[in-house]
Amino acid sequence: MNVCSYVSIRTPSVSVNRVCVFSAKKTGNFFSFLFLCKKYDIMESAKNICEVTAMALKAVLFDLDNTLYDFSTAHKLALRAMAEYGESRFDVPARRFLLAYQQADKQLKEELPYVAACHNRVLISQRMLELLGLPSVVTPLELYETYWSTLLHSIKPREGVVELLSRLHHQRIRTGICTDMTAHIQHRKIAALGIAGYLDVMVSSEEAGVEKPNPKIFHDCLNKLHVRPNEALFIGDSFERDVCGAHAAGLIPFWLNTTNEPAPEADFRYKELHSLKELL
């Protein structure tokens, strides 16, 4: 079966168990995707909305950084390696390198808001060196490779990621990554995580020309998959970029809140997850 049904239960009188039974009868393939809507249904129930709808679920889209792997920890390791390389190469204290990184990062995000280039470590490295009055032609490549080789060697998929992607793949639900950042490094991350075989498409903000939460990047990804927005879930860690963005683009948003932040107020429905294992 190519299409798996997504059922949103909107009645307070239906318990989770009854939802399962009802849905299992309604659509032959329900049990295979129950993991995707169980908690969402409970939340819906609490809202006293009396309505039952069934729709086709054709794709699950994911954010990459901090969603499929722990970026924050790897980033700190990689930054330290970069600063230590700078210290040994130029005899400038690692602390000054880290300060220059922050300044360069800030400048580029101000100069190039909403486009992928503001994340590019080659540009950040080049600007760092310029700020420090060090040779800024070619040397940025060395800093770039120090940063990324450290990060790429340290990352691994979050718990449940491989199993979830594999399950979706076998259920023939299409999968995609929709990510801010340059395409080159995102392809390298996907290769390092070993998950390329389970993914159908990737859209980077470099390709879309805009960053999340701009709906264009979500629609570009869906267009590649030939899937309509309401036929797709989106799972990401950033409430503003991923959840609000996916909602604005018409997808069903899932918020991966691994740090247990308080849930933000929102005038639309979304499902909160604390781990991708919850979806298994």
Is 63 part of the annotated catalytic residue set?
A: yes
Window of 6-14, 58-66, 115-123, 162-170 that interacts with a second copy by CB under 8 A: 115-123
Backbone angles phi, psi at 235, to 5 degrees: -120, 120
| Region of residue 108 (left: phi > 0; alpha: psi -120 to 50; beta: else) | alpha
Residues 159-180, buried b or exposed e (16+ Cβ, 10 A)? ebbbebbebbeebebbbbbbbb
Mutual angle of helices 183-193 and 139-154, in 10-degree steps: 30
Q: Tell me which amino acid residue 155 is.
A: I
Strand partners, 253: 234
Indicate which single residue of 79, 81, 140, 222 sits in contact with a second copy (rule: CB under 8 A).
Answer: 140
Is position 141 an interface residue for a second copy (rule: CB under 8 A)? yes
- Choose the catalytic residue: 65, 220, 237, 242: 65
Whole-number CA gyration radius for the chain: 21
Indicate which single residue of 18, 72, 111, 275 sits in contact with a second copy (rule: CB under 8 A).
Answer: 111
3-state secondary structure of 178: strand
Is 105 part of the annotated catalytic residue set?
A: no
Could you give the string, one character per residue 13-52, with x where binding to a second copy holds by CB under 8 A and - elsewhere?
A: ----------------------------------------
Quick one: tokens of 259? 């740090």
Indicate which single residue of 75, 89, 187, 269 sits in contact with a second copy (rule: CB under 8 A).
Answer: 187
Q: Tell me which amino acid residue 109 is.
A: K
Quick one: tokens of 205? 């903000």
Which of positions 203-222 make contact with a second copy (CB under 8 A)?
Answer: 204, 206-207, 209
Window of 20-28, 68-76, 195-203, 245-253 that interacts with a second copy by CB under 8 A: 195-203
Q: What residues are annotated to the active site?
A: 63, 65
Instruction: Kindly list the residues in this chain that would bind a second copy in the complex (CB under 8 A).
Output: 108, 111-112, 115-117, 120, 122-123, 126, 130, 135-138, 140-141, 144, 177, 182-184, 187-188, 190-191, 196, 199-202, 204, 206-207, 209, 224
